[in-house]
């Protein structure tokens, strides 16, 4: 229990018989009466108000759930944060939160605390939050490796040649979504993808239990930042990244979504949301729309009851082209019928069939040019509470 605060006494002099003090003194007296415990004693010719002021040095905590006698509750963030702080010195905490290399520098590991503004209406992290954490871990991986150039996530040799990485496909499978205050631990690594691509994988674990709660894999290629044309990987760049290649898959090949996503048309689409416009805040350091921003636009055409009653347990994105801030977009969604057997409902969300499947398309409003295709799977939400 915290030590009790020290106290001191203050005496205010007020002339007896004249309580019409000026406005400034009255404001001061009223303000002090709201923040201090007061006890007065009055005499015939003059009055004294004895004020007992508490020092703000420390707050008294009683029985673990009261502050100065007032009942309070520990926030999920405080509760989960204590798990990462317990038994660690300052250097350990710094290394854990900012990331570190494990397995002979092949795997980069970083921990994150889910903030309240990273959760949705049901109190759990959103798909956009997960994708942002994956991207953050990938960028920190490059920076910590010592290869970072002047660009956003580029190597030194890439910066010399005005080259950048762009993602062409990403697939994520979510076992369960973390809640506000939960701590997640993310491992990431890279490997070659054909002759001119790179594969980046991630695994998201619950920090406390070490259970795997999500897996993701992606394919990246190199683009010239000035011409916006794809480029082969220069041999100098290949030599930079090859020492970090790890032949390991976050998602087994037989469980990965590698099928081509069908194109939606005006004839096959069920729902369209038009008039979507990128904002300046949607642009990244490479001056094109951040790839995570597309997810929000895709979900604009998903039925509201699906968003509220189901969890997105799988998402595959195929990036076709960039869009600029001045581009108006429209989001298309079409469902795929899916039947769930009764005996499959007891299995986890990755192994059982989804309750809903959707195909999506994000395209330009004026010329209908494709920007991104997507496929999603959804399972009914389990009952959960914000206080967990």
- Token pair 């003090």 is found at 21
* Active-site position among 132, 141, 179, 288: 288
Q: What angle do CA 230, 235, 238 make, to 5 degrees?
A: 85
End-to-end CA distance of the chain: 25
In this structure, what token pair is assigned to residue 195? 């002759």
Q: By C-alpha distance, which of 176, 86, 166, 155 is closest to 382?
A: 176
Q: By C-alpha distance, which of 359, 109, 124, 146 is closest to 243?
A: 146
Q: By C-alpha distance, which of 105, 109, 93 is closest to 185?
A: 109
* Active-site position among 141, 225, 323, 360: 323
Q: By C-alpha distance, which of 377, 341, 374 is closest to 356?
A: 377
In b/e form, how buried is each residue of 147-181, taking b as 16+ CB within 10 angstroms?
A: bbbebebbbebbeebebbbbbebbbbbbbbbbbbb
171 in active site = no
Residue 342 CA, chain-centre distance (Å), reads 34
286 in active site = yes
Catalytic residue IDs:
286, 288, 323
């Amino acid at each position: 229990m915290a030590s009790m605060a020290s106290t001191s006494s203050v005496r205010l002099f007020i002339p007896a018989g004249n309580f019409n003090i000026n406005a400034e003194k009255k404001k001061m007296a009223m303000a002090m009466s709201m923040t201090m415990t007061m006890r007065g004693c009055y005499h015939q010719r003059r009055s004294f108000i004895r004020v007992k002021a508490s020092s703000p040095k420390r707050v008294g905590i009683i029985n673990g759930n009261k502050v100065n006698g007032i009942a309070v509750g520990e926030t999920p963030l405080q509760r989960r944060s204590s798990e990462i702080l317990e038994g660690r010195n300052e250097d350990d905490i710094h290394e854990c939160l900012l990331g570190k290399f494990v397995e002979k520098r092949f795997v980069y590991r970083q921990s994150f605390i889910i903030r309240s503004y990273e959760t949705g209406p049901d109190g759990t992290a959103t798909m956009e939050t997960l994708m942002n954490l994956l991207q953050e871990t990938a960028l920190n991986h490059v920076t910590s490796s010592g290869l970072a150039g002047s660009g956003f996530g580029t190597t030194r040799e890439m910066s010399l040649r005005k080259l950048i990485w762009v993602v062409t496909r990403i697939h994520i499978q979510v076992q369960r979504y973390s809640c506000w205050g939960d701590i997640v631990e993310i491992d990431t690594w890279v490997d070659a993808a054909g002759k001119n691509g790179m594969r980046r994988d991630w695994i998201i674990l619950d920090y406390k239990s070490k259970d795997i709660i999500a897996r993701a894999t992606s394919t990246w290629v190199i683009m010239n930042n000035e011409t916006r044309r794809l480029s082969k990987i220069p041999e100098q760049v290949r030599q930079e990244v090859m020492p970090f290649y790890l032949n390991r898959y976050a998602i087994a090949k037989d469980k990965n979504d590698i099928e081509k996503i069908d194109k939606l048309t005006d004839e096959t689409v069920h729902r369209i949301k038009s008039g979507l416009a990128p904002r300046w805040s949607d642009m990244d350091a490479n001056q094109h729309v951040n790839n995570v921003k597309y997810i929000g636009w895709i979900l604009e055409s998903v039925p509201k009851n699906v968003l509220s009653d189901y969890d997105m347990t799988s998402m595959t994105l195929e990036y076709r082209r960039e869009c600029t801030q001045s581009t108006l977009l429209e989001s298309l969604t079409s469902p795929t019928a899916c039947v769930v057997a009764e005996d499959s409902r007891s299995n986890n969300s990755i192994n059982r069939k989804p309750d809903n499947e959707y195909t999506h398309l994000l395209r330009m409003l004026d010329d209908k040019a494709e920007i991104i295709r997507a496929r999603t799977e959804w399972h009914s939400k389990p009952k959960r509470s914000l206080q967990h």
